[in-house]
Amino acid sequence: MHAAGITFAILLLPSLANAACLTLAGHPDGARLSLLALSPVDASFSLVYTHSVTRTPVTELYRVDGSEIVETEMRFEQHGPGLPTEADAGGTFSRADGRFVVTMERRFPVIVMQVHRDQSPRLIAGTRTLDLAQWGNRALALGVIPDACAGP
């Protein structure tokens, strides 16, 4: 291996060790349910579900920034309760492929969500999909550990 290859390998190792880790816990009890390591190259994920009123798909896109979760985009087919009707400051509101597309930069230390099996809630990170209703109809808290996942 020549010097450039060694340098690349040395730069890659720390990034692998510092991949962000999503934590999923019951709310409000805080009981840990799952850990999900994100790619060190792309610390992004999405939440996908069926809207409870319009019964149409909603996709929310997120990325991890340090110890925060940043919502960057939301896509949906029909307006419904809880969905945006205009862009945040600095964001956009448009239509593409028959869907509303809203861009944003919303920061959260933790996302608390109510999941219900009828809404088919899923967390998607890379090629992995996690069924969020597998623990029943309940409130869940999604957080982030800036370093790699450790423990069960």
In a domain, 8, yes or no: no
pLDDT in tens, 42-55: 899 999 999 999 99
pLDDT in tens, 94-125: 999 999 999 999 999 999 999 999 999 999 99
**How many residues comprise the chain?**
152
Distance in Å from the first CA to the final CA of the chain: 36
Strands (E), the chain: 21-26, 32-37, 44-50, 57-65, 68-76, 92-96, 99-108, 111-115, 122-125, 128-131, 138-145
**Does the pLDDT of residue 76 top 50, yes or no?**
yes
Angle formed at CA 142 by CA 127 and CA 26, multiple of 5 degrees: 115
With cut-offs at 50, 70 and 90, classify the pLDDT of residue 87. Answer: very high
pLDDT in tens, 118-129: 999 999 998 999
**Does the pLDDT of residue 3 top 50, yes or no?**
no
Q: How many CB atoms lie within 10 A of CB 12?
A: 12
In a domain, 126, yes or no: yes
Domain housing 61: 20-145
In a domain, 53, yes or no: yes
Q: What is the predicted pLDDT for the residue at 103?
A: 98
* Partners of 57 in the β-ladder: 50
In a domain, 63, yes or no: yes
- Cβ–Cβ < 8 Å for 139, 23: no
Q: What is the predicted pLDDT for the residue at 18?
A: 57
**Whether this model's pTM surpasses 0.95:** no
- Cβ–Cβ < 8 Å for 22, 123: yes
pLDDT in tens, 126-144: 899 999 999 999 999 999 9
In a domain, 108, yes or no: yes
Q: Which residue has the tokens 């205009």?
A: 86
**Does the pLDDT of residue 11 top 70, yes or no?**
no
Total structural domains within the chain: 1
Name the phi and psi angles at 55, rounded to 5. Answer: 60, 35
